[in-house]
Amino acid sequence: MAVLGAAVAFAANALSPHRIELGRDYFAGARHVAPGPPAGTNTAATAAGSTNSPQELLAAHLRDIGLQLADSNQVVQFFHDPRREQDGIIFIDAREDEQYLAGHIPGAYQFYHFYPEKYITSVSQPCLTAEPIIFYCNGGECDLSLEAAVYLRDNLRLPKEKLFVYGGGFGEWVTNGLPVELGQRNSGQLTNLVRTAAGPKAGALKP
């Protein structure tokens, strides 16, 4: 009976104007699925656009600990501000002695927070009267500037509104060809440090 029924069905389909083509794949479109995001993709972040830049992340981190980020343009403006000549604006180099003596932003005070007793006397009064105060170290992954700023803020009770951290640090300062002071603070030995593959070296001071 089954064989007979199948034979009748095939014969009817062959004679029908709406016959089914047995070799055709009627479900090809149904099986095609548009590709989605790879596994592990954060679809919310993708929809919102690109992720935050390193500078934006650093600025957010500084805000969380009560500090402000200063970019290179802002730092140059601070440096050329006439108030800096009377310590109305001060720079604080948070690096160790060897690095500071090898070159620092002209007129910058030094405060290496691992030995605060060595530097606190020289920086206390300028920090209390200056506004703003710009802390820096080598930049990049260097956190000495953040740590120095927090230490002086907490111990001298400095208002957070006047505390800035130069994210690019001394590395960016040198790369931008800005003047560098050698030796002690206000030594008068000004130069430019030109970065090469072998590291920084002294160069002619740009006018």
Model confidence pLDDT, tens digit, residues 161-189: 999 999 999 999 999 999 999 999 999 99
Which residue in 100, 91, 116, 123 sits closest to 187, CA to CA?
100
**Segment among 10-19, 21-30, 119-128 with least mean pLDDT:** 21-30
Write the CA distances from 78 to 91, 98, 130, integer angstroms.
Answer: 9, 25, 12
- pLDDT value, residue 118: 98
Q: Is 88 exposed, middle or buried (0-12, 13-18, 19+ CB in 10 A)?
A: middle
Write the CA distances from 85 to 24, 79, 92, 187, integer angstroms.
Answer: 87, 9, 14, 15
Superfamily of domain 54-203: Rhodanese-like domain (3.40.250.10)
- Where helices occur in 88-165 by DSSP H, the ranges are 97-102, 116-129, 144-156
Q: What are the tens digits of pLDDT across the range 47-96?
A: 344 578 988 999 999 999 999 999 999 999 999 999 999 999 999 999 99
Q: Residue holding tokens 């209390």?
A: 128
Work out the pLDDT band at 44, boundaries 50, 70, 90.
Answer: very low
- pLDDT value, residue 194: 61
Q: Are 184 and 150 in contact (CB under 8 A)?
A: no
Work out the pLDDT band at 200, boundaries 50, 70, 90.
Answer: low
Separation CA 112–CA 92 (nearest Å): 9
Question: Does 157 or 27 have the greater pLDDT score?
Answer: 157
Helix (H, G, I), strand (E, B) or coil at 51: coil
What is the value of pTM for the model shown? 0.71
